[in-house]
Chain A
Amino acid sequence: MFQLSYNFIFLSQAILFLNTQVKLSEQEIVSLLLQQDERGFNYLYDNYSAAIYGVVTRVVASKDYADEVIQDVFVKIWKNIAQFDAEKGRLYTWMINLARNTAIDYVRSKGFQNEQKNQSIPDFVNDSNQYSTTSNVDHIGLKDVLAQIKQDWRELIELAYFKGYTQQEIAERLDIPIGTIKTRTRNALIELKRLLKDYR
């Protein structure tokens, strides 16, 4: 068993060494990270940093803060990779949620809120021209999918997913019964899925 996994790691490292553009499976990435191999970090960063930076930027709404938070996110992935449980979902999902939660915690921290009072931050998140959009999938020249979703659903995604509000808080904020939130979330996600099909 040990011999087998050792061979497996050796093999994946050999492949990495030969070709850094190779596509690794999530399992291979995880085993590289567990081995604390720098190439695991390189692969992770090259393939996922843009997605993670996108999520973080949406939450903290400022480039300077996003630069700070994304550092924490990668350190956390590196340190906590042993806690990743493939039973509960894919690595990509795990990393997105880790990024989202780190960013939401950052926004809620006292230091951040004090700083917010002292300076005004331009609302650049919605200004898509300021950033080039890149990822493993090619989306050049395509518009922000959130802008295409109807307002009720967009608000819900913003509050739940990017602000980390509870159902109770959302019900109060949007002045809707708490019982309708789950159905609305479902509809929002179904619509999101439909819109994202065009981007594939």
Chain B
Amino acid sequence: MDIKEYIASGIIEAYVMGLASEEEVRILECVQKNNPEVRQAILEAQSTLEDFASQQAIAPPAELKSTIWAKISEESAEKPKSVTVPQQIHEEEEVTSIPLYPPQNTVSPNKTFNWFAVAASILLVASVAFNFYLSNNQKATQEKLASLITEQKNNTIAYQNLKSRWDMANDPTVKTVPLLGVEKHPDMKAMVYMEEKSKQVYLTLENMPVAPENQQYQLWAIVDGKPVSLGVYDQQAKEEMQKMAVINAAQAFAITLEKRGGSPTPTMENMYVMGKI
């Protein structure tokens, strides 16, 4: 994982604000040990919140200081000051108590305990490292999954587009009219589909270059020698088969390149393809 990306993800801010999950905290604390950049970023974020606390400071009532000190003295008096004494007792107990799994050889229980402690520490370090590895792994898997999902979506779109073409081409009530390139653009091709009953016109571009950003292809029907606009084709849409206008009695279709949104009359020198019914 890129460390810059990691820092920019907001994980450090979430951590200092107390928003990070246990898992995220574990990873971050592990990373900061070996990465001065992350460590610095954490310290900076903490220092912002320190400044924030200083700025929002409110003086407490004056009498509280002695109240609190009295409370602290009281609590300290209840318990013995030294913490080393109970610890010693505890250690002695450890030695005299019967171990759950009696050692087979002459090694003293205390020494065995030390070995367990060492082993446990090694296991802990290994487990932290493994966790880090797993979380990295998980991220890689998630990225792969995301790219597969995108691919799947693209495949579905491609399939839908093919299917709508196929359905149209095989529908006996739909008339297909190929529009072929004019002299200047012999390779270009588009297809018009006309539902005979409803007179609804559909259009697909089979081989047309992507129009410049401020321009769009416009479909025209030629009715009694006059061009009638059937609308513009949206090349940014996912659907390749697009619904155009309804036209009753057309003799031919043509496509011109017009300004975005279409023109009231076709620009004849920008005519790319045409086809007669």
Contact = CB atoms under 8 A, between A and B. Distances in A.
Interface stretch (B45-53, B197-205, B250-258): B45-53
Contact of B68 (A71, A157, A182, A193): A71
B42 A89 contact: yes
Contacts of A97: 18
B52 A192 contact: yes
A160 B81 contact: no
A193 B59 contact: no
B60 A50 contact: yes
Could you say which interface size class chain B belongs to? Answer: 35 or more
B50 A96 contact: yes
Interface string B193-229: 0000000000000000000000000000000000000
Could you say which interface size class chain A belongs to? Answer: 35 or more
A166 interface: yes
Given A55-B56, A181-B19, 7 more contacts: A74-B71, A89-B46, A131-B59, A134-B57, A135-B55, A160-B19, A189-B45
Contacts of B33: 87
Contacts, number: 156
B76 interface: yes
Contact of A67 (B12, B50, B51, B64): B64
A167 interface: yes
B39 to A, nearest CB: 9
Interface string A40-68: 01000100011111110110000000110
B146 interface: no
Contacts of A188: 13
Interface string B111-143: 000000000000000000000000000000000
Contacts of A88: 29
B54 interface: yes
A145 B59 CA distance: 17
Interface of A: 36, 38, 41, 45, 49-55, 57-58, 66-67, 70-71, 74-75, 78-79, 87-90, 92-93, 96-97, 100-101, 131-137, 139, 142, 144-146, 157, 160-161, 164, 166-167, 170, 181-186, 188-189, 192-193, 196, 199-200
A38 B69 contact: yes
A36 B76 CA distance: 9
Contacts of B69: 38, 41
B50 A93 contact: yes
B13 A71 contact: no
Given A93-B50, A182-B13, A185-B13, A133 B68 contact: no
A122 B76 CA distance: 37
A139 B13 contact: no
B54 A136 contact: yes
B10 A183 contact: yes
B236 interface: no
Given A45-B68, A74-B72, A131-B59, A182 B11 contact: yes
B46 A57 contact: no
A192 B81 CA distance: 43
A196 B56 CA distance: 11
